[in-house]
Amino acid sequence: MKTDLYTKTVLTIIAVVLTANLFKATITPALADSKKFVTLPVNPDGSINVNINKVASPMEVKITDVDRSAFYYVMPIPVKVTQ
């Protein structure tokens, strides 16, 4: 009899917590990050103008630091450097 009461109590607590978790998820949706997205104007050829300001030293770009699997399903981005 004591085991039955213990089991029912534990299962009731679990059910209440899961229900509270369900309602919490509907009130505050989960966000992966706090970044905001903006719309950028695209040139007629599909390119985007980028202007890098305030660079104190040369920028080092190491493509070898990127995981190879990041490039499996993407098209290459053409880059034109003008000075």
* Distance from C-alpha of 12 to C-alpha of 9, rounded to nearest angstrom: 5
Q: Residue 62 — very low, low, confident or very high, per pLDDT cuts 50/70/90? A: low
Residue 9 has a pLDDT of: 92
DSSP string across 24-73 = HHHHS---S--PPP------TTS---------SSPPP--GGGS-GGGGTT
Instruction: Give 27-43 pLDDT, tens digit per residue.
Output: 766 666 666 667 778 88
Instruction: Give 7-24 pLDDT, tens digit per residue.
Output: 999 999 999 999 888 877
Q: Is the pLDDT of residue 4 over 70?
A: yes
Q: Is the pLDDT of residue 68 over 90?
A: no
